[in-house]
Amino acid sequence: MSKQFNVPPVIFPSGPGGDSGGPSSAAQRHPMPPFQPRPAATNPIPFMSFDVGSVAQSASFSAPQLGPTITSANPNFDDEPPLLEELGINTKHIWSKTISILNPLRPNPNLQSDADLSGPFLFFLAFGLFQLLAGKFHFGILLGWATISAVFLYIVFNMLAGRNGGLDLYRCLSLIGYSMLPMVILSALSLFVPQGGPVILVIAAAFVVWSTRVCARLLVEAASWNEHPGLVAYACFLIYTLFSLLVIF
Amino acid sequence: MYNNVRKQAGMPRPPTNSQPNSFGNALYGTGSGLVGSGLGAYGEKLLGSSSEYVHSNVSRYFSDPQHYFQVNDHYVRNKLKVVLFPFLHKGHWTRTSEPVEGRLSYKPPIYDINAPDLYIPFMAFGTYVVLAGFSLGLQGKFSPEALNWLFIKGLLGWFLQVTLLKVTLLSLGSGEAPLLDVVAYAGYAFTGMCLAVLGSVIWGYSYYFLMPLTCLCMGIFLVRTMKRVLFAEVRSCDSSKLHYLLLCIALAQFPFFLWLGNIC
């Protein structure tokens, strides 16, 4: 379904003064009232001003929608990297990180060495969607609580670790987000269990412990500081208990 | 500089802030500490390029926060025992001091059970918020907005407790205890409150005797601690005023706990 449109190229005649002397000479020669289109003769405005190579070819104005038919106008379009790669979302990596978290006993810390936020974003979105299925609209709450808990954990961890603490806020948020996976599973499970009963409490306790283990293990490895894991684990425990309250009640 | 002048003006008393060098190290040595770099950057921006001037002025209000996080498991466990059951503490209540660079300063919490720390208050506050949310949920009144309100109420309560202690210090001595010390002492109240809320979660009626018990314990703890802090500062022998103020602090714990601990 590729139609060929014969679009005549629109060419603005360049004025005698050229670009550099355009505005000032215009002001001298024609004191024009504002908001009136200036005569194109004095100042040809290039439409694709961000694409330096194609100022004159205004056919590029309509080129991107037509695809490869007019390639000379916008030479970089074919060579552009795919969207996900440009955004930095490495889906294979996200998947492998997710799989490693599913192992509650031994998460693989090397995978987490490069932090990214797209996995956590997906997890929070899934968490919010499962909550929505349960009739609770918590997206804003999730955003706020995730931010506050990340800042809290960042402060506590860096203060505890002292000089050896190499944790930055981005990685902290990334680790908290990845360790939310058990919480997402919990919220999915809670759809099938009566709300507020003892069953969901027991299940939630198990999942919170899972999340805490993973998060504490990953934190300690990420910042390469291993001295008081219990103290850091308690902070993670508080955070995940907070999120589990959203699920249980 | 300014610190030395102020120090020589008074009797030996707890230093207002840590040595500028350690604070400087904390500022510029901590890898990516938000607080350290934030304070440092803010100070530089405000007060110009002279780092000594920056340190002395910024550290006048905030002693080195890292000092309060030097804890370990052993300290945390024992300190919790001291805070929750102060009448069982057999040792003395004074902080051990060590001379560092010619000025008297106190040992960090890891070496001294009587030193205040900020880890326990932070964790106790978080535990209080979580437990209170849990208790609300068991009563069927949970909503995330309610939890947010609890958080803000808790912060407000902490702030009020800090002002109470600080006003006491100011009215008696010159109020030279570091601000973070006072914040830590005020935050210890949340441990007792956590215990009371936990009791109310487990069995409803236990709240009615756990609450006065924890109030009393917190009162005793604060009285003993403030007495030590004030004794180091009070110049004239105004002991009756001192005792009335200490009693006031202990009594003020009751409405404070009632306000924050009554989750219903």
The mean-pLDDT minimum among A150-154, A160-164, A174-178, B57-61 falls in B57-61
Task: Calculate how close chain A gets to B15, using CA atoms only, in Å.
Answer: 22
* Rounded mean pLDDT, B1-8: 42
Task: Calculate how close chain B gets to A162, using CA atoms only, in Å.
Answer: 6
**Interface predicted TM-score (ipTM) of this complex, two decimals:** 0.73
Q: What is the pLDDT of residue B2?
A: 40
Task: Calculate how close chain B gets to A197, using CA atoms only, in Å.
Answer: 9
Task: Note whether B118 and B52 are same-domain residues.
Answer: no
- Domain spans of chain A? 90-248
Task: Note whether B55 and B151 are same-domain residues.
Answer: no
Q: What is the pLDDT of residue B37?
A: 58
Task: Note whether B51 and B168 are same-domain residues.
Answer: no
Percentage of residues in chain A having pLDDT higher than 70: 72
* Rounded mean pLDDT, A13-37: 52
Q: Which chain A positions have a beta carbon within 8 Å of B134's beta carbon?
A: 241, 245
CB pair distance less than 8 Å for A242 and B31 = no
Task: Note whether B56 and B129 are same-domain residues.
Answer: no
Task: Note whether B46 and B78 are same-domain residues.
Answer: no
Task: Note whether B45 and B152 are same-domain residues.
Answer: no
pLDDT band at A148 (very low <50, low <70, confident <90, very high): very high
Q: What is the pLDDT of residue B130?
A: 94
CB pair distance less than 8 Å for A242 and B129 = yes
* Rounded mean pLDDT, B102-110: 76
Task: Note whether B117 and B56 are same-domain residues.
Answer: no
Task: Note whether B82 and B37 are same-domain residues.
Answer: no
The more confident residue out of B256 and B242 is: B256
pLDDT single digits (tens) A70-107: 445 566 777 788 888 878 788 888 888 888 888 767 76
CB pair distance less than 8 Å for A158 and B34 = yes
Task: Calculate how close chain B gets to A188, using CA atoms only, in Å.
Answer: 19
CB pair distance less than 8 Å for B137 and A162 = no
The mean-pLDDT minimum among A83-87, A180-184, B183-187 falls in A83-87
- Into how many domains does chain B fold? 2
Nearest by CB to residue B144, choosing from A138, A154, A166, is: A138
Instruction: Classify residue B100: in a domain, yes or no.
Output: no
Percentage of residues in chain B having pLDDT higher than 90: 24
Could you tell me if A245 and B133 are in contact, meaning their C-beta atoms sit under 8 angstroms apart?
A: yes
Q: What is the pLDDT of residue B9?
A: 41
Domain that holds residue B234: 67-86+110-261
CB pair distance less than 8 Å for A165 and B31 = yes
Instruction: Classify residue B101: in a domain, yes or no.
Output: no
Q: Which chain B positions have a beta carbon within 8 Å of A168's beta carbon?
A: 32
Task: Note whether B50 and B77 are same-domain residues.
Answer: no
Task: Note whether B164 and B190 are same-domain residues.
Answer: yes
Task: Note whether B42 and B123 are same-domain residues.
Answer: no
pLDDT at B131 over 90: yes
Interface test with B, best of A143, A147, A159 (most B CBs within 10 A): A159
Task: Note whether B40 and B81 are same-domain residues.
Answer: no
Please state, in angstroms and rounded to a whole number, the distance separating the CA atoms of residues B61 and B48: 18
CB pair distance less than 8 Å for A241 and B130 = yes
Instruction: Classify residue B24: in a domain, yes or no.
Output: no
- Average predicted confidence (pLDDT) for chain B: 77
Interface test with A, best of B69, B149, B190 (most A CBs within 10 A): B69
Please state, in angstroms and rounded to a whole number, the distance separating the CA atoms of residues B49 and B32: 21
What is the pTM (predicted TM-score) of this model?
Answer: 0.72
CB pair distance less than 8 Å for B30 and A154 = no
Q: Which chain B positions have a beta carbon within 8 Å of A167's beta carbon?
A: 32
Nearest by CB to residue B133, choosing from A154, A168, A245, is: A245
* Rounded mean pLDDT, A131-159: 92
pLDDT single digits (tens) B22-73: 444 444 444 445 555 555 555 445 444 444 554 555 555 667 788 888 888 8
Three-class DSSP labels, chain A: CCCCCCCCCCCCCCCCCCCCCHHHHHHHHCCCCCCCCCCCCCCCCCCCCCCHHHCCCHHHHCHHHHHHHCCCCCCCCCCCCCHHHHHCCCHHHHHHHHHHHCCCCCCCHHHHHCCCCHHHHHHHHHHHHHHHHCCCCCHHHHHHHHHHHHHHHHHHHHHHHHHHCCCCHHHHHHHHHHCCHHHHHHHHHHHHCCCCCHHHHHHHHHHHHHHHHHHHHHHHHHHCCCCCHHHHHHHHHHHHHHHHHHHHC
Nearest by CB to residue B66, choosing from A159, A168, A238, is: A159
